[in-house]
Amino acid sequence: MEHKEHQRRLFRGELALAIAVVINSLGVVLMLYSGEGISAISSVPYAFSQVFSFFSLGTWTYIFQAALIISLMVLRRRVVVNYLFSFAVGFVFSQFLDLHELWVNLLPEGLAWQIAYFVISYLLICFGIALSNRCKLPIIPTDLFPRELAQISGISYPRIKISFDAICLMVTAGMTFFFLGHMRGIGIGTVMAAFTMGKVIGLMGDCLDRHFVFDIHHRTGERKVHRFS
């Protein structure tokens, strides 16, 4: 077992988090641009941005993330410092959302492109969340919430993730239908992703664990694997 441990390559947690923030924000915007619907983790902020358009998608995302962090601390019944650091990461993520929205409309359109955008965005989001779950650093609250809820409840991460995504979609569907007269931002791709993403993230996480050891700079001497499938 120890021999296998040394065969794994070190993956810096700082790098894993940076990659996750960039590709997850791109994945969210690209999935929306594909026309197949927005990702479940951003569907609630998207609904608010459509109904209450005085704030951008990025701003509503940050507000939603704040609500998730507060909910976790209520469940923990204490203030968790690492959760507070997630606000900073969430802010950067929100800014990247708005940044990607500025250029994504320059991409070519068409049915084949839409399918490609959805597949790419789906895989980006899954891979980004798998990285986030292992970086050992404060991560964006929308990724943190299902991970921590799995720890608190003792329920497996894939089940929590799927349930969380499904609830987000129901809130989005109800809110947009009630205020706008029709459901917006939810497509066949959104529903498919919501009910499969948790499992795919778990599989990607297992693959990462077989090849890499995740650790942050000041803890490289420990070289412990952080598993969360």
Instruction: Output b/e per residue, 36-64; b: 16+ Cβ within 10 A.
Output: bbbbbbbbbbbbbbbeeeeeebbbbbbeb
Q: Which amino acid is at 213?
A: V
Q: How many helices (H) and strands (E) does the chain have?
A: 9, 2
Residue 193: pLDDT over 60: yes
Rounded Cα distance between 132 and 149, Å, is 15
Domain spans of the chain? 2-103+110-215
Q: Could you tell me which residues come within 8 angstroms of residue 127 by beta carbon, excluding any fewer than 6 positions away?
A: 23, 204
**Most confident option among 92-96, 121-125, 187-191, 223-227:** 121-125
For 163, residues 6+ apart whose C-beta sits below 8 A from its C-beta are none
Identity at 223, one-letter amino acid code? R
Q: Are 144 and 66 in contact (CB under 8 A)?
A: no
Global model pTM greater than 0.85: no
Average pLDDT over residues 208-226: 69
Least reliable range by pLDDT among 9-23, 71-85, 211-225: 211-225
184 — phi, psi (to 5°)? -130, 140
In angstroms, rounded to a whole number, what is the distance separating the alpha carbons of residues 152 and 148? 6
pLDDT at 6: 54
What are the beta bridge partners of residue 22?
A: none
215, β-bridge pairs: 12
Closest listed residue to residue 201, CA positions, set 139, 152, 153: 139
